Amino acid sequence: MRRISGFILLISMLIGCCPNGAPAPEVAGDKLRPAIPEAEPPKLDGELEEDEWERALRVPLSSGGDLRLQRNGDKLYLGLSTNNKYGNVTVALARGDDVKICQTSHLQATAFYSKAKRNWRRSRDFSWIKIEPEDEIKKREHLDRLDWVAFEGSSMGGRGVEYCITIPEQGLRLALATYSLRSGRHAPHWPLSVDDDFIGEQLNSGEAPETLDLRPETWAHIDFPPEEVAPPAAPKLTTARKTSGEPLLGAWEVKNIRYVWEGGQVPIPSPQPGRFTFVEGRYSMVWHHQFKRQQDYAKTWKPTDAERVDAYNGIVVNSGEYEVHGDTLITRPAVAKTVEFEGGEGRWLMEAVADTIWLRSAEIWNHRGEMDPAVGEMITEVRCERLR
């Protein structure tokens, strides 16, 4: 999924010690590579309970606000405390030539940027969703799909925001900013070395410009935990079963379909024929998805206009290349019944067990980077069995 010389001195002068009286953790090696303590994961509700963050590394923002950092295995936790009760909190995550902009208010949104010749170009605009802190299923799905989730609440008469971020094996670069109408041209931020468009007014006010001048080398470097360091406890926010691309290889038959939306669901226990095929990075999906079974044309080989429309609306057809990242199946169709889907991208949450796979629709994007809003309104679940 993209140094300042006085960083150690600022930590020692402005922090001094942790809340429990122990010396503050030192920043070792690279001055933008903070030594983040291991701790049990906090409850993600934005409340910043002191006993949940007592081991955290605490750092100041550039102008008001307190940021806490701790980790549990490959999960990084951020806790922000600020007097700014309104406005967005934004975290940037850089991995290689890709950057995610993760924005939180009472909603959550992610924008994607890719490295271009002279700047960073937006590949996907913000798409806002709402997740309740007690909705563990949506929490896990958001974390599995986008590698982050966050919630806001109250903290010492101000505002608290808590993030959980998955650290990839190659590590990542990270920056945080918080914005209000009084922030001025530059939003309060961390690390203090950040001086690019990430802390600009337009991005932090909730807009994702088409291009940004980003310099991730000035952001904090978060390392993947060493294999020999075992976390003290399993995260409260667990991820689903991890799979590789290998279990998908072969041909599959659609056995069950279920449509789920807020307040209801409709199962199709015996759907019309459907076949999925996966062969070394190539795939095809052809399946009927309507509730009613299609009938033969009234005149063989000579459908009416109404029969053509019914046939078109009743089938899904696309084929191209695919990748599997953790629990996410990513399809990139080269050919599709819906032409604007060609060159786009589909994302499915996936679980594979023996000769059965479960797929749950997550996102559908066309070749212009526009997401299908219907996917967020109604989720499609498909169960397939391997053909012998």
E strand segments, 262-307: 264-268, 274-279, 282-288
**339 SS3 class:** helix
Place 5 in a pLDDT band, splitting at 50, 70 and 90: very low
Query: What does the alpha-carbon distance between residue 89 and residue 105 come to, in Å, rounded to a whole number?
Result: 7
DSSP label at 186? B
Query: C-alpha distances in angstroms, 332 versus 155, 170, 188, 376?
Result: 43, 24, 38, 19
- For the segment 274-295, the average pLDDT, to the nearest whole number, is 88
- Cis-peptide into 216, omega within 30 deg: no
Range with lowest mean pLDDT among 229-233, 245-249, 323-327: 229-233
pLDDT for res 213: 95
pLDDT at 158 over 70: no
Q: How far is residue 374 CA from its own chain's centroid?
A: 19
Sequence-separated (6 or more) residues with CB below 8 Å from residue 180: 84, 86, 87
pLDDT for res 85: 62
- For the segment 278-294, the average pLDDT, to the nearest whole number, is 87
pTM for this entry: 0.53
For residue 145, give both structure tokens.
């799909």
CB 255 within 8 A of CB 384: yes
CA atoms within 13 A on the CB side of 75: 25
Residues 164, 30, 12, CA angle at the centre, nearest 5°? 80
Range with lowest mean pLDDT among 8-12, 34-38, 66-70, 345-349: 8-12
Identify the structural domains of the chain with CATH numbers, from first to last.
Answer: 7-222 (2.60.40), 246-386 (2.40.128.280)
Query: C-alpha distances in angstroms, 184 versus 71, 112, 158?
Result: 32, 25, 20
pLDDT for res 229: 41
Range with lowest mean pLDDT among 184-198, 209-223, 351-365: 184-198
pLDDT at 25 over 50: no
pLDDT at 241 over 90: no
pLDDT for res 232: 41
pLDDT for res 186: 67
pLDDT at 252 over 90: yes
For the chain, what percent of residues have pLDDT higher than 70? 82
pLDDT at 21 over 60: no
Q: Which residue has the higher pLDDT, 252 or 327?
A: 252
pLDDT at 263 over 80: no
Average pLDDT value over all residues in the chain? 81
Q: What are 52-56's contacts with CB under 8 Å, separation 24+?
A: 53/19, 53/79, 54/18, 54/19, 54/20, 55/18, 55/20, 56/18
Residue pointed to by tokens 């402005």: 14
- For the segment 178-186, the average pLDDT, to the nearest whole number, is 62
Range with lowest mean pLDDT among 62-71, 303-312, 341-350: 62-71
